Amino acid sequence: MVFNSYSKINLTLTINSKKKSGLHEIQSYYCLINLNDKIKIKKINNKKDKIYFKGPFAKYVKRSDNSIINLLSFLRKQKLISNFYSIIVNKKIPVFGGLGGGASNAVFILKSLLKRKINKNIFNKLEKLIGSDFRLFFHRQGFLDNTKSVKILKKKHKLIFVLLRPNIHCSTKEIYSRVKSYTKKDKFNSHKTNTKKKFINYILNNKNDLQSIVEKKHPVIKQLLTDISVEKGCYLSRMSGSGSVCYGLFSNESSAKTALNKMKSRYPKFWFSLAKTV
């Protein structure tokens, strides 16, 4: 079986509070995009899984402790699977980029192995194991209302992005540890996003609370975002998650491709990609 494991972009991200557990309560409008890891999985007659990573970002994946190993181990302990598997992951989603690649791999493998719906208790345990991005990958576009709830957008919007990644690895734990202030929670209102124009305006009027923290630590992020923002057809530029991948949201594919080529020429050592919503 071969399938795609899609990445996500945080269109907005606000930090609302810090819980007693040390984790943060956040809200985020997000979407899945067609930048994906390709996963090939098959049953094998072994007593141990064989997991291989290849592709441009394979070298950054921990071989002995990653979302796939943790997922398979958990599913066996819960007696939800009994077989062992050969899994090959072509890593095209940047690691340490804020695109949720590890969580995505776990979710899409879970969907391939378990055709039935899992109960709430199992779901919550998996989320705790895999991380807070886990529940995002069950919906193509949505609003993370809090760490336990995603509101589904009735109207899905077609969006196009230019993705940019400097040669920087951002530690999610470190970036969140630097959060010193909080943003008031927003109340989800589907009428604010039911047309593309209103949706874009809403996104424009919000932000990623982690961005200023990363820009202070890595000034090149701020420069990249400024450079892409002035390109023709760019609605806005922003960082996804805790970084380091940044993006420009564009009005059309032609403008996005022109901007992509300009940025590649200006920053030849950085990673770039064109992406669309799925």
Q: Directed axis angle between helix 67-77 and helix 120-130, to 10°?
A: 150
C-alpha dist (Å) from residue 258 to 33, 163, 252, 253: 20, 13, 10, 9
By C-alpha distance, which of 185, 217, 212, 227 is closest to 24? Answer: 185
Secondary structure (3-state) at 210: coil
C-alpha dist (Å) from residue 254 to 57, 231, 244: 28, 12, 25
37, 133, 209, 227: which one is catalytic? 133
Secondary structure (3-state) at 90: strand
Q: For 26, left (φ over 0), alpha (ψ -120 to 50), or beta? A: beta
Q: Are 9 and 33 in contact (CB under 8 A)?
A: yes
By C-alpha distance, which of 60, 97, 107 is closest to 275? Answer: 97
Annotated active-site residue 133? The verdict is yes
Which residues participate in catalysis according to the annotation? 8, 133
